[in-house]
Amino acid sequence: MGRFDLAIAIGGAAGQGIATPGDVLARIFVRRGLHLNAYNAYQSIIRGGHIFLTLRTSDRPVHSFGDRLDILIPLNQDTMNRHLRLMRAGSAVLYNSDKIKPGAAADGVQLCPFSVKELAPTLKGDLVQNTIALGAVLRLIGVEFKILEEILTLQFKRKGETVIAENVGVARAGFDYAGDHFKPFPFVLPDTGRKLAFFEGNQALAMGGAAAGVRFYCAYPMSPASGVLHWMARHARELGIMVRQVEDELGVINMAIGAAHAGCRSMCATSGGGFALMSEGLGSAAMMEVPVVCINVQRAGPATGVPTKTEQGDLWQVMGAGQGDYPRIIVAPTNIPDCYRTVPQLFNLVDKFQCPGIVISDLLLSEGRASVDPAELDFNVPIDRGEVIGLNGDTPPPDGGFRRYQITASGISPRAVPGTPGYAHVVATDEHDEDGVLISDEFTNPNKRRAIHEKRMRKMEGVLPLLEPPRLFGPADAQVTLVGWGSTEGVIREAMEKLADEEGIAANHLQIKWLVPLHAEAITSILANSKTTIIVENNYSGQFARYLRSETSIVADGHIRKYDGEPFMPHHIVDGVKAILAGATKKYVPVHEIRV
């Protein structure tokens, strides 16, 4: 039996209730043990505009929302006009014929009109069409109505029995109407029996923080990072986490540093504009050697940019955040389960090396949703707080007094929780000596400055051996090596399959997760055997390509870049590889489907 693969899209204006049918379908798919990937292309307005939610499900892992659609549910004429032309033979379009007209469709596309006035004559409101379409979709894909009834009951439980009965009745009407008037798909939605969870990347980052032992979280709401704050606030009381919504990102980073200095694990999240305000604070954390974790969920910039669209444009910003040289650890999770796993790992590292850690994500990963095997999530992660005095009872002070910034071979000095008897020390953002005495208060001593600066930077030498180096995925003798970082992992993997199956082009793949420090030697060794190296990234200037060249002298043979606010689709990478291999270009910039 071949792979089961189904993609459903729901489109309309903001306020037309796209999320609810999407959530119901996602619940059904996950209940049947099917893998799922969902992406919502939306605008930064409360009403109007164009919203387009794609849910793709399969009996095998789904790495992206894919290239094609099997079912389209347009909730307004605008969506029909934009997307009907993209539908292929064998697909279906379900729509309310009272208000929406289809136009010309490709041969083999099944148009499935229904009338809300006829099927729900006593009910009013635009949301009725969503529920009718939901019932009709399930009839087309062979799902028994009882499943939908159970989920609608759960979905509307808080609104009372009347609302539940109305929705179940309307859905039943759509289900029965589809059975009488539409041709079903030639399959029944399978049930694999797997137990799967389903959540978004921001929730995974927040859960990773909770698993890591975060006890203080603060943020100023800024899309697309707000989902971390929402999850933390919702679960703070039961998890024993203090959560604060702060007036701005200047306050956020300084509150987070203060909490971390006091001895608890502390985390914050923002997007590029807010991260800009945190830059000086991050340098302060490094100077004071206070471990703190900051998440930057990238959106299309600069300035306010496109708040609800994705990009990988902040790499150079996070690498250069704050003036001067200072140790920092920067990591870019590659998928939603990796968001969860990465946060505890990063906390152990920043506690050990007493420096700031930055998670760089993006809208696609953080607001995208995917099914996850619970076995991939370890809720009892190892926690290593490093050399912290005073967390587990009093420790006798050393002879000669406590030297907070003692110069050591590793660059790591024992840290004491404030208030620990016998461990009084000065912590400030000025340069200082081993005792914390400010150099500028005594006199500017070049020898002390050099020694303490080298001590801080020496810590980075110990980080790299603790990080798993990137590994090549795919055949070693491939014609082309695709290099990506962060969230592009999934779409590159799917593009590899398409290249092999449809174009006869063998490709392999190197995805970079740990950005600072960088596994320069390992990457150089792997790419030395590459026949054609192509770097894939979601920005204009090739920020990772420039970084890789500066650290390794590797110059890629080609680039595939996208910076229109929408994520890569597999065919974008396939087309780019073909163009580069054919010598047509060295930099391929795909054109997204025009949605006008």
Q: Which pLDDT belongs to residue 442?
A: 65
Rg (the chain; Cα; Å): 27
* Cα–Cα distance, 425 to 235 (Å, whole number): 36
**Averaged pLDDT, 219-247:** 97
Residue 515, amino acid: L
Run of H or E residues at 166: helix 161-181
* Cα–Cα distance, 441 to 361 (Å, whole number): 41
| Token duo for residue 436 | 């914390």
* Cα–Cα distance, 79 to 485 (Å, whole number): 33
Domains and CATH numbers, the chain: 5-181 (3.40.920.10), 198-376 (3.40.50.970), 388-465 (no CATH), 472-588 (3.40.50.920)
Query: Is the separation of the CB atoms in 384 and 351 below 8 Å?
Result: yes
Residue 580, amino acid: I
E strand residue ranges, 4-119 = 5-14, 35-41, 48-58, 71-74, 92-96, 110-114
Q: Which residues contact 499 (CB under 8 A, 6 or more apart)?
A: 480, 505, 506, 507, 574, 577
| Token duo for residue 442 | 């005594």
* Cα–Cα distance, 264 to 280 (Å, whole number): 21
Query: Is the separation of the CB atoms in 519 and 548 below 8 Å?
Result: no
Alpha-carbon torsion, ordered 179, 182, 188, 191, to 10 deg: -70
Helices and strands: H and E segment counts in the chain: 19, 23
Give the predicted TM-score (pTM) of the model: 0.95
Q: Which pLDDT belongs to residue 595?
A: 38
Query: What would the pLDDT profile of 363-413 be if each residue is shown by its tens digit?
Result: 999 999 999 999 989 999 999 999 899 887 667 888 888 999 999 999 999
Helical segments of 499-569, H only: 520-527, 543-552
Query: What would the pLDDT profile of 568-583 be if each residue is shown by its tens digit?
Result: 999 999 999 999 999 9
Ranges 189-198, 438-447, 536-545, most confident: 536-545
Query: What would the pLDDT profile of 535-548 be if each residue is shown by its tens digit?
Result: 999 999 999 999 99
pLDDT above 60 (res 478): yes
Q: Which residues contact 525 (CB under 8 A, 6 or more apart)?
A: none
Q: How many Å is the maximal CA-CA distance in the chain?
A: 89
Sheet strand arrangement including 5-14: 110-114, 92-96, 71-74, 5-14, 48-58, 35-41, 369-372, 197-200
Q: Which pLDDT belongs to residue 391?
A: 82
Percent with pLDDT over 90 in the chain: 89
Percent with pLDDT over 70 in the chain: 98
Query: Is the separation of the CB atoms in 94 and 71 below 8 Å?
Result: yes
Question: Beta strands 5-14 and 71-74: pairing type?
Answer: parallel
Query: How sure is the predictor about 596, in pLDDT bands with cuts at 50, 70 and 90?
Result: very low
CA separation, residue 482 to residues 149, 494, 519, 552, 578 (Å): 45, 12, 17, 17, 12
* Cα–Cα distance, 272 to 360 (Å, whole number): 10
- CA triplet 590, 595, 596: central angle to 5 degrees? 130
Mean residue pLDDT across the chain: 95
Query: Is the separation of the CB atoms in 555 and 546 below 8 Å?
Result: no
Q: Which pLDDT belongs to residue 394?
A: 67
**Averaged pLDDT, 48-53:** 94
Query: What would the pLDDT profile of 275-322 be if each residue is shown by its tens digit?
Result: 999 999 999 999 999 999 999 999 999 999 999 999 999 999 999 999
| Token duo for residue 300 | 């299309």
Query: How sure is the predictor about 46, in pLDDT bands with cuts at 50, 70 and 90?
Result: confident
* Cα–Cα distance, 228 to 440 (Å, whole number): 40
Query: What would the pLDDT profile of 488-511 be if each residue is shown by its tens digit?
Result: 999 999 999 999 999 999 999 999
**Averaged pLDDT, 12-39:** 94
Query: What would the pLDDT profile of 86-131 be if each residue is shown by its tens digit?
Result: 999 999 999 999 999 999 999 999 999 999 999 999 887 778 999 9
Tell me the β-bridge partners of 244.
Answer: 218
List the single range of 215-229, 335-349, 424-438, 453-467 with lowest mean pLDDT: 424-438
CA separation, residue 404 to residues 352, 394, 412, 438 (Å): 15, 16, 10, 13
CA separation, residue 347 to residues 111, 265, 331, 338, 416 (Å): 53, 8, 12, 14, 17
* Cα–Cα distance, 422 to 403 (Å, whole number): 11
Q: Which pLDDT belongs to residue 25?
A: 95
pLDDT above 90 (res 427): yes
CA separation, residue 392 to residues 123, 256, 263, 346, 395 (Å): 63, 22, 11, 22, 9
* Cα–Cα distance, 212 to 275 (Å, whole number): 22
